[in-house]
Structure 1
């Protein structure tokens, strides 16, 4: 109020104020009418206060309305924040649960892949390793940390999968199956699987060691063959033995009649024919006795098979096989096996070896048959200047028994040596399949390597001859 009066006074007393404006507040003598000034100032003040109060009231109403709206907006925002927070918490919980499940699934898959008995290798198109399981570590000797990211063939050069196999599997989008085997050592089944619906093209290589399964299958097959051979040998021997005995009896009776001279006197004109007939009868008797010996060997083979290995002297088995070969092996217009020179080089005190005697006899007989064919072939080509010879070596070498059967007949080519121990598969391109099959020694190789857990190899030269190497474990 005081400030307003002072302001009014200044306005009235200011020399710059227009005289007409101050006229109502002055007397005629020029003095100030303070009563009018006070009344005017009070009225102006009341008006200003009223306007200010009205403005404040309007501002308060507007502020109140704004506060209500803000409270509503705040409530909506709080509700939205709560909803969003609840949704985020739910999404986070679901994400955590999903992540745990993914980790559990990944750990489960990793454990499965690591515990697989197969070699499992993941590769990209360039042959870089993306996965390397525990079996791969054991086979290659390289840890997964050192293998992943490296080229497969730089750390595992022995694997038979090539980059062409990977490209072929990716192009055809079909699994590619390979089989790799080293007879007598191991057999592998290799499968290349292309990865489908994957970010980066690649393959998974599975290497399955099927050696034990193949050995078991081969043993079952060979046991079935041996059983069939034994049954066949027994049937053939029994069917042939009875009529053969009758034929031999008739031959001996006829020979006795000729020797008695009752049929033809010795001084008759047919005495030369008589000698010729006697020679034919003697030859027929010798052949009959040879057939009789073969039948006895067949019966012995049929009865001698034993599922359990038993200790035996290999030299005795070798000598018995030589006797069988002398009685059974012969070729038309060829030197008899009995006329072949046999050199024996046996060490003293040869230890006994656990073996299947009958099967081992068949192995030696197969080798003698193979040698006899080569010797007869070379004897026909060389004539009298050639002396067919078989050399036998038996000796102990550390914990095993070493045998060598060497002959100087026609040797084997590199191609024949490569396929000598493989089973024969008939081909239309082979002119004489029976002869080709007869030159294979797959059964002998199976008996030595699988049944006796030994080793068998061949070295040969076409001009020098062939040597078969056999090694049998003593224990």
Structure 2
């Protein structure tokens, strides 16, 4: 109690109004009635304590409510956390599953990418290794593909050709824009065969593509030169063999009755010479018999030449003197060559310009004779078409040695060859009649494709032509000495 009184006194003493309350607790004798002070202080304290208790009660009640609200909020938060946790766990599970699937897809994608790269490298290697010239083109003519064979043939690297215009990059290509446009518009492959003076042969095929973003057409250029030359060689060898056998058979078949006819003519001539006295017609008959014998001798010469010409050359080249071959061919031409204009080969003046000490060369003699005979036939036709006043048909033959080659020139002053004819004169089945190429329309005077084949392929030489319509034509032959 004293403690409470002391506390209350201290409280009252600390206040400015406390001094005015103290006198109420003093006794008459001047002493302070501490009992009253204590009771009053206790009452005040109890009141304050009651107020404090009430305040604490309400505070506790409010705190309890707040705690309940907080508990509810906590429970809700815990529920939300659980739900969120469950959602996150499910998301994590799905994400892990997705990661597993994604890893599988990544592995599969890597495998697919690797296979695609391998396939792309394989396709590129195949395209690069193709023996064909492959060119990819867009509709505007830009190059999208240019393989190794195209680089070898054109001499243009792929890096320089790609994305460039084809006809500006490779202007000598034997293919026009119109042909490519036609293939694209028709949506059908187009095959074009091209050859140049027997030097090369190409099969050009244009393939239009569908649903391609970069390339609209693919051009394949196949060099079939060797294949055609090999085929021609086999065909021409068969021809030569057949021609030789046919010529030999015909010569033998004709030779027997011709020998009998000539013998009979000689017998009739001797009998007529013995019994010609008193016969007014004896001189006429003798003249006829002499002419018949002369013609028979010429026919016999033709047969002998055919027999020599039909001899097989065998499997190897043999050394031969080129001037003797030319002279032998001239003898044969004198007997067999004539043209529809009436000009006979024996009526043509032959000028010979042979160098001295010409070496023998390895060759197929019968085939070279056929070349010279074809050139003489061509010259005879051209000379027969020359309608110039005072014109004298002349063939000049020159044979010289230059470096390691034997040069032969056969020149005539007949009708020349036009520029267009010069471009195709060595092509198979060449004819100067427009639109005609069948065997019956084939101009015999223009048959030089086989001659070109014999010189270039079988003798590894060269055959060329220079001509002027008003001057004449010169054929140039080069043959290796060894």
Matched, 1:472 2:479: yes
Residue 313 (structure 1) aligned to one of 317, 321, 330: 321
Which is greater in Rg?
Answer: 2
Structure 1 residues 367 and 255 mapped into 2: Cα distance closer, same or farther (>3 Å)? same
Structure 1 residues 377 and 170 mapped into 2: Cα distance closer, same or farther (>3 Å)? closer
What's the offset of the Cα at 1:237? 1.5
Q: Distance in 1 between matches of 2:424 and 2:393?
A: 25
State the partner residue of 1:193: 207
Does the CA-based 8 Å contact 1:121-1:131 persist in structure 2? yes
What's the offset of the Cα at 1:140? 2.0
State the partner residue of 2:429: 424
Aligned runs of 1:129-140 on 2, under 5 Å?
129-140=143-154
Does the CA-based 8 Å contact 1:188-1:210 persist in structure 2? yes
What's the offset of the Cα at 1:118? 1.5
More deviation in 211-220 or 421-430? Answer: 421-430
State the partner residue of 2:246: 232
What's the offset of the Cα at 1:333? 8.8
Q: TM-score, normalised by structure 1?
A: 0.84
Aligned runs of 1:14-413 on 2, under 5 Å?
33-34=46-47, 36-200=50-214, 202-260=216-274, 262=275, 264-265=276-277, 268=278, 270=280, 273-330=281-338, 334=342, 336-378=344-386, 385-413=390-418
Structure 2 segments unaligned to the other structure (5+ residues): 1-10, 12-39
1:425-461 residue CA offsets vs partner (Å, 9 max, x unmatched):
687977x956833343222222222222222222333
Structure 1 residues 49 and 161 mapped into 2: Cα distance closer, same or farther (>3 Å)? same
Q: Distance in 2 between matches of 1:374 and 1:67?
A: 112
Q: Distance in 2 between matches of 1:86 and 1:223?
A: 74
Q: Alpha carbon RMSD of aligned pairs, Å?
A: 2.9
1:138-169 residue CA offsets vs partner (Å, 9 max, x unmatched):
22222211221111122211101222122111
1:192-217 residue CA offsets vs partner (Å, 9 max, x unmatched):
11121112462111111111111111
Q: Distance in 2 between matches of 1:259 and 1:176?
A: 78
What's the offset of the Cα at 1:88? 1.6
Residue 462 (structure 2) aligned to one of 439, 455, 461: 455
Q: Distance in 2 between matches of 1:335 and 1:94?
A: 86
Partner SS, residue 311 of structure 2:
helix
How many residue pairs match? The answer is 441
Q: Distance in 2 between matches of 1:199 and 1:121?
A: 16
Does the CA-based 8 Å contact 1:192-1:203 persist in structure 2? yes
Does the CA-based 8 Å contact 1:120-1:133 persist in structure 2? yes
Q: TM-score, normalised by structure 2?
A: 0.83
Residue 443 (structure 1) aligned to one of 450, 461, 481: 450
Q: Distance in 1 between matches of 2:176 and 2:367?
A: 41
What's the offset of the Cα at 1:377? 4.9
Does the CA-based 8 Å contact 1:184-1:449 persist in structure 2? no
Structure 1 segments unaligned to the other structure (5+ residues): 1-8, 10-26
